[in-house]
Structure 1
């Protein structure tokens, strides 16, 4: 179990934190699949492409483990990542926006190899920090102002 925790830790710290995508070839089963709320389902090549994009857009990306749990062939990691946007992403021009993310990843192993992982993280908060969406409170206030006639000429 300790070796599975170590492998899952390496995915967060080395792959995501340092951009060392070659670690995936070492730790993952060839049929590996990742499930993510933003990118959807991806194989090893897709995860490598996503990590490269993250590091191109957030060259100072930091990743750290907040907690790690293991039971049988399943490892659950609670993680934190942050960095400053330095390249256009999702149509957003970089202005040095500081973005922080926290989430959970459930990793499933077979015979010591990672076969599948599912991540759940604050995707809405990420898009909000990039300026792509507004919090509901702001939208609700705007609707109320519109209904009250504040926007009428």
Structure 2
């Protein structure tokens, strides 16, 4: 049986951290699919393309594994990534923006090979750091009449 802890670590450190997309061929089942809030669903070729884009836009990307848990055929990796934008991305011109991302990836293995993973990460924070969205601001603003937005005035 493949060491799932090692495989999950390689996915984050070697593939995303170093851009070694060929490692995916070793780790993944031919029917592999990835689910990501920004990219959507992707097959092996799609994930390779995304990693290449990510590494091109953030060539100094630093990845850290903050926690790694394995139960049966499932690995859960808590990770962070940080780097400076060096190439146009989502219509954002690079100005050296330092971007920090943190999330978890739930990886499902079958016969020792990665068959599916689902990532959950602070996508809104990422887009905010790129300047594409902004926070709504304080949600408890008082209107001129003294009522909080959304409260009923009976």
TM-score, structure 1 length as denominator? 0.89
Moved over 4 A (4+): 138-141
Coordinate RMSD, CA, aligned: 1.8
Equivalenced residue count is: 143
- The structure richer in helix per residue is 1
- Tell me what 2:25 maps to: 25
Matches within 5 A, 1:1-150: 3-137=3-137
1:8-57 per-residue CA deviation (whole Å, 9 max, x = no partner) reads 10000000000000000000000000000000000010000000000110
TM-score, structure 2 length as denominator? 0.88
Whole-Å Cα distance in 1 between the matches of residues 113 and 103 of structure 2? Answer: 22
- Change in Cα spacing, 1:19 to 1:140, as seen in structure 2 (3 Å) is farther
Once the two structures are TM-superposed, the CA of residue 139 in structure 1 deviates from its matched residue by: 9.3
* SS of corresponding position for 2:137: helix
Whole-Å Cα distance in 2 between the matches of residues 91 and 78 of structure 1? Answer: 29
* SS of corresponding position for 1:136: coil
